[in-house]
Each structure stands twice: as C-alpha cells, then as structure tokens.
C-alpha cells in the first residue's frame, strides 16, 4: 500500500485481477481469472471512509478527482518541484502517471486506487 496523496492510496494487484470491491469494513477483495482465488486486504485502521476510485489505467475523469490542477497553468507534474514549473502538464491522465512515478510505482502495473478519509 502506497500513499499517493493525503486522501488516496494505491495497492498493487495482479494483472488478472477482476471484480475489485471494497466492503463496508474497509477491506477490499478481488478475484483472479486463472485460479479464481479471492484475495482480501484490509486498509489500515484510522480511516473510516473508503471508496474505490478505480483500477489502473484510470480514466481522465477518475484522475481529475486525485491530481492537483492550478487554473491557468495546468495539472501538477509530480516529478518536478512546483517552484520549478510543476504545473506544466495539460491533462490529468499524464499528471496521474507522474504521480505514480513520483512514488516509485511502475505505471504499467495494475493498482487499485482507493480514496480514504478520516472521520
């Protein structure tokens, strides 16, 4: 589990994972196509609201809910410090990929992106 932002985490899942779900108790599960094994993973305590944003690759609309946009300048390039022109990306999908890379994640792998909030 990697914290992408203060309200989003990424959890790597197998390439053949499907039926990704989050239960009311904050655990998410998925089924793999090959052996139909269901895996479950509980999100750390202290977070009361959990919702699945999606599974990568995310859509432009899904990334819009995660990455930062500065009006008139574009989306945040998470690989560049903001004081050095960090708002140069023009769409949220590229910004999201830069966010994954900035956290040491391979954007070609499959991740469940989960929104977390404390109450």
What's the pLDDT tens digit per position in 87-117? 678 899 999 999 999 999 999 999 999 998 7
pTM of the entire predicted model = 0.86
Number of domains in the chain: 1
Note whether 43 and 75 are within 8 A (CB): no
Enclosing domain of residue 44: 2-117
Asked whether the predicted pLDDT for residue 45 surpasses 60, the reply is no
pLDDT score for 1:
85
d(Cα 68, Cα 80) in Å, to the nearest integer? 13
* Residue-wise burial string across 5-43, b where 16 or more C-beta atoms lie within 10 A, e elsewhere: eebbbbbebeeebeebebeeebebebbbeeeeeeeeeeb
What's the pLDDT tens digit per position in 53-98? 999 999 999 999 999 988 877 899 999 876 655 567 889 999 999 9
**Which pLDDT band holds residue 39 (cuts at 50, 70, 90)?**
low
d(Cα 13, Cα 93) in Å, to the nearest integer? 20
**Which pLDDT band holds residue 36 (cuts at 50, 70, 90)?**
low
Q: Which of 40, 46, 42 is nearest to 25 (CA)?
A: 42
pLDDT score for 84:
58
């Amino acid at each position: 589990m990697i914290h992408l932002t203060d309200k989003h985490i990424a959890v790597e899942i197998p390439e053949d994972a499907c039926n990704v779900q989050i239960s009311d108790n904050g655990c998410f599960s998925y089924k793999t196509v090959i052996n139909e094994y269901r895996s479950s993973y509980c999100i750390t305590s202290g977070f009361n609201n959990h919702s699945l944003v999606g599974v990568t690759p995310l859509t432009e609309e899904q990334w819009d809910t995660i990455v930062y946009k500065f009006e008139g300048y574009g989306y945040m390039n998470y690989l560049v410090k903001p004081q050095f022109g960090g708002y140069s990306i023009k769409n949220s999908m590229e910004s999201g990929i830069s966010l994954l890379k900035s956290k040491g994640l391979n954007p070609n792998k499959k991740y469940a992106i989960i929104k977390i909030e404390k109450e």
